[in-house]
Structure 1
Amino acid sequence: MKARIALLLALCLPFTAPVAEDGKADPANQVAYVTLAPALVGNFGAGPRLKYFKADIALRVTGLETKSKVEHHEPLIRNQLVMLFTQQTDETLATPEAKEQLRQEALRQVQQVLLQEEGRPLVDDLLFNNLIVQ
């Protein structure tokens, strides 16, 4: 019985929010999301027929100060992502696996931009809230 309680408590520990000395949640360790709004919209691919994409993207960061820095660099991040999306082809957007590779490449490029600008990658993850190609 004691082992079960100890196991239950151990499993619950990672899910508790970081707390500052005054008993409030520590804003430096809070997860926040920066939504790139409006959605990224453009065309991609080559050929006689225009193809369009629309991507609703959120960036996961840790800490309110980090969120502020990422929001400050949003125009540069948006530019980098639009350039990445316009280079895509039907094959790189056709399957769920290909979209996951695109998501990972987008994350790498965003982190690279922020590394150059801030000295740290700042963004923990990049999420496609919605990705439409037509």
Structure 2
Amino acid sequence: MMVVISMAIPAHSLAQSQIAYMGLEPDIVTNYLSGNARTLGFVRVTVELMLDDADNIEIAEHHMPLLRAIVIEIIGRQPEDKVKSLTGREDIRRTILQTLQQRLEEETGRPVVKDVIFTKYLYQG
């Protein structure tokens, strides 16, 4: 599901920027590092990507396997206390954003992703 929003740039500029949103579907479901070696913790996250331009939707779709792999890898190596805290969740989100931007910059020459939004975040463990 994609949503395109037009956003006017300051009045002194006639240019327009179109922000687009793209969901990583299906939801990301992965294990995380549990404090107890005998139990597994898991997290289920619905991730939406804010793209800096609607023209980048095709680029993001092309790189979707890479984007999903990055998100799964980052969440999967987080400790339990970070997954379960609000500040930890924000740290995870920022790490995902920075890594996605860096990898897309390497692949395409521009960061493409403007922000990462968690619309659902469930954990157990």
TM norm structure 2? 0.82
> Which structure has the highest strand share of the two?
2
CA distances 1:82-134 after superposition (whole Å, capped 9, x unpaired)? 11111011111121111111100010111111011101111100000111111
- Note the 1:38-77 alignment, pairs <5 A: 38-46=26-34, 47-77=37-67
TM-score (norm 1): 0.77
In the TM superposition, 1:21-32 aligns within 5 A as 29-32=17-20
> Where does structure 1 differ by over 6 angstroms across 4 or more consecutive aligned residues?
none
Q: CA RMSD in A?
A: 1.8
Deviations 1:20-50 (A, max 9, x none): xxxxx95xx2111010000011111141101
Contact 2:7 / 2:19 at 8 angstroms: preserved in 1? no
Structure 1 residue 17, shift from structure 2 partner: 3.8
Q: Which has the larger radius of gyration?
A: 1
Higher helix share: 1
Structure 2 gap ranges (5+) = 1-5, 10-14
Aligned pair count reads 112
Matched-pair identity in % = 28
